[in-house]
Amino acid sequence: MTGMGRQSSRKPDRKVSADRDVVALGIAAAAIIMFVGTGGTVLPQIMRSWAGVGSGPSSLLINAVLLNIALIIFGWRRYKELLGEIDERRQAEELARELAETDPLTGCLNRRSIADEADRLIARQHEVDGSVAFLMIDLDNFKQVNDYYGHSNGDRLLTTVAERIGALLPRDGILARLGGDEFACLIPWNGTGEDSVSTFAARLVEKVSTPVWMDDHPVEITVSIGIAHSDEEVTSSTTLMHNADVAMYHAKKIGKNRCCWFEPSLENALRLRQKLEQGIRRGLERDEFIPFYEQQVDLKSGRLTGFEMLARWDNPDMLGTGPAAFIPVAEEMGLIADLSFQVIGKALDDAKDWDPSLTLSVNISPFQLRDPWFSQKLLKLLVEHNFPPERLDVEITENALLENVGLVRSMIASLRNQGVRISLDDFGTGYSSLAQLRSLPFDRLKIDRSFVSELREDGSGAKIVDAIIRLGDGLSMPVTAEGVEDEIILDALRRFEHLKAQGYHFGRPEPASAVRSRLAALGLLAVNTDIEAPATETAEPQIRRMQA
């Protein structure tokens, strides 16, 4: 309220100061006029009195003259003071306007002022049939640098980036920092060809990525740039900034460290993304995410050994939206832990009714492993659902080992101490080393489906599968092959001992009700009362039926 009051009283204060200025000057002028009038009478009388030829002036006139002199001094001094006050206020207002229009850290314009500059530049360029290119620049992974090296080094990095962009900026270009690690450039453009703007953006990508030294360590920072330009339809800074922001988001999505021009199709993709984000939030509130199950089979015996849980979205409005679409978005939104634990909780309830010999495998996102309390939360979930830890198999991808091996090692140890088994998923696609495999207590390796699918041909994929299986044997780690799609791949895998497999050849992922019916038919329910299996049918032909 105080700030609003000061802001609203700024103009009246200026008027009052001006009025006081005129009053003080008027007092001084009136005093001078009165002094001339009274002094013209008093001074001659004083001179004649001093010469002894006449009487002196009356005390009333003398007092009037002295009063006039005092008024002249007072009025002039007050006038000078008011001039000083007005000058100080003018300087303060200039400083306040400068702070309101510029970024205090880098000295660039800010978001508010760049919008006004863009509107003026668009109008000016429109008069000469020109255009304006707007570049939205965002630093990639700046938060990690800021958290690791500290905010003071982060501020120094932002200042360095601003200096590098400013050094490359064309003579008529305008640079602004929109906030955080986001910058923007305005460039007058003749509207013919995109080479000049694209060349400038490419130089920015190259220049900004030059390492910056922090605490005696070189730090490389890259940028993603979105580019949009004004035309007959885009005539406002708001639309121009929005289009550039959409293009910048797409540049990040397709790999970062690059620039991307705005196209209308990107707007549609952004709307779909926003719809997906809103749907995920509603889906979590409405408990729409459910588990499906993919069978895992022992190849030597043909015996069903367990299921891998796969998340599915039970919402007709999101029909066809598979986990490959909504899982990455949930990760970026920071909601993957809520989604994962919601689905795992349902799976634990489903699997309690299965035969105790059957295991439940669940995939864990690398984002969840950043939480140091993940293992405790998962163990708490097991207690809440009264599920035996030894029947749970947690699958971790190789990429999860890159960020913090020490933290992952402690979480794996905590889970294994309680009986939970840990598998290294998608093995062969990441960067885990033999030393990590020996030091991390994994219970199983899972070969990525991209290698397994190449078993149809005797190529490099087959050799990789053979090498992984032999590596597992050497480390005493059993192996599971994912993506067994047909009989050809199954025959190629049967020559290996102690191998499990899963894939569409054994049946597509099914909801809990379908799995329960299958297990009841096989006599593999812990309490088989709901559905009875035919007494004359053995387990082996039923396994073949499931494979069909």
pTM (two decimals): 0.66
Q: How many CB atoms lie within 10 A of CB 280?
A: 25
- The H-or-E segment that residue 290 falls in is strand 289-298
**What is the C-alpha separation between 381 and 364, in angstroms, rounded?**
14
SS3 for 111-159 is HHHHHHHHHHHHHHHHHCCCEEEEEEEEECCHHHHHHHHCHHHHHHHHH
Indicate the fold that domain 111-263 takes in CATH.
Answer: Alpha-Beta Plaits (3.30.70)
The per-residue pLDDT for 351 is 97
127: its two tokens: 């008069």
Which of these, 305, 344, 297, lies nearest to 493 by C-alpha position? 297
Sequence-ordered list of residues with C-beta below 8 angstroms from that of 380, at least 6 positions apart, any chain: none
Residue spans of the domains in the chain: they are 2-101, 111-263, 288-547
Give the right CATH number for 288-547 from 3.40.50.300, 3.90.550.10, 3.20.20.450, 3.90.245.10: 3.20.20.450
Q: How far is CA 476 from the centre of its chain?
A: 41
Type and span of the H or E element at 239: helix 237-253
User: SS3 helix, strand, coil % of the chain, rounded to 5?
Assistant: 55, 15, 25
Using DSSP's 3-state secondary structure scheme, residue 197 falls into: helix
pLDDT along the chain (548 residues), means of 10: 35 48 65 65 64 61 70 72 74 64 86 87 86 93 85 90 92 90 90 75 91 85 93 86 93 91 88 91 95 95 95 87 91 94 97 96 93 95 96 90 82 94 83 68 88 78 83 88 92 86 94 95 76 38 37
Nearest CA-CA partner of 427 in 414, 407, 442, 416: 442
